[in-house]
A and B are shown apart, each in its own frame.
Chain A
Amino acid sequence: MLLSSSLFSGFSPEIPAPAFIMTKLLEWLFGVSVVGAAWALVSFDLLDLSLPQTYREVAWPMPLYLLVSFGCYSLATVGYRVATFNDCDEASNELQEQIKEAKEDLRKKGLKM
């Protein structure tokens, strides 16, 4: 990518030519469209593959199934984090120590508290 952009930018030294680099958005759009096309192919039988009716019945609610799976995963993650929520004792002690040090330092420099 870098090589091609430097090659193409030789035409106009002032303005760098737009190199073909896939942004994250493009990547996601590409992936989603590929998956969506595959889903549409199977569930609406666009190519007349004469798939069994059962396959189409399974494939048709797949987007919703993925959504429900994602919801379940999110719920489970939240629940697990709630169950294993912990205190950060070490960090708390460290912070208290630093506050003490800072107060000492400021007092040395003549700040009244």
Chain B
Amino acid sequence: MATGVDQAVGMSLVVFSLLLFTYYSVWVIILPFVDSDHILHMYFLPREYSVILPGIAAVILLLCIGAFTAVIMWKNRKPKKVD
């Protein structure tokens, strides 16, 4: 069975993704329809960053996946050379 730690981690993942989705939806979809001097704009970065930040995140993610794959393949290739 899932232990308490598993449940905490899983539920925090769910909550984090829901929060991220809500925040990003408000930022991208609702904010252009709000007047630019409204107080809601105080809580969000300028609109350019709604594209730049996910782009940076995607690049970092791809780099991590690439590094992981490279490390795994490199580790798996070593024993074959010994044989």
User: In residues 39-86 of chain A, which contact B (Cβ within 8 Å)?
Assistant: 54, 57-58, 61, 64-65, 67-69, 71-73, 75-76, 78-86
A76 CB contacts on chain B under 8 angstroms: 13-14, 17-18
Interface size on B, residues (CB 8 A): 27
Q: In the bound complex, how far is the Cα of B16 from the Cα of A71, in angstroms?
A: 12
Is B18 touching A81 in the complex (CB atoms < 8 A)?
no
Is A79 touching B17 in the complex (CB atoms < 8 A)?
yes
Which of the residues A65, A82, A83 comes within 8 Å of B28, measured between beta carbons?
A: A65
With contact pairs A85-B1, A86-B2 given, residues A57 and B32 touching in the complex (Cβ less than 8 Å): yes
With contact pairs A54-B33, A72-B18 given, residues A82 and B6 touching in the complex (Cβ less than 8 Å): yes
State the majority secondary structure of interface residues on A: helix
Q: In the bound complex, how far is the Cα of B22 from the Cα of A76, in angstroms?
A: 13
Q: How far is the CB of A112 from chain B (nearest CB, A)?
A: 35
A-B contact count (CB 8 A): 80
State the majority secondary structure of interface residues on B: helix
Q: How far is the CB of B61 from chain A (nearest CB, A)?
A: 9
A94 at interface by CB-CB < 8 Å = no
Q: How far is the CB of B8 from chain A (nearest CB, A)?
A: 8
User: In residues 1-57 of chain B, which contact A (Cβ within 8 Å)?
Assistant: 1-2, 6-7, 9-14, 16-18, 20-21, 24-25, 28-29, 32-33, 47, 50-51, 54-55
Using a CB–CB distance below 8 Å, which chain A residues touch chain B?
Answer: 54, 57-58, 61, 64-65, 67-69, 71-73, 75-76, 78-87
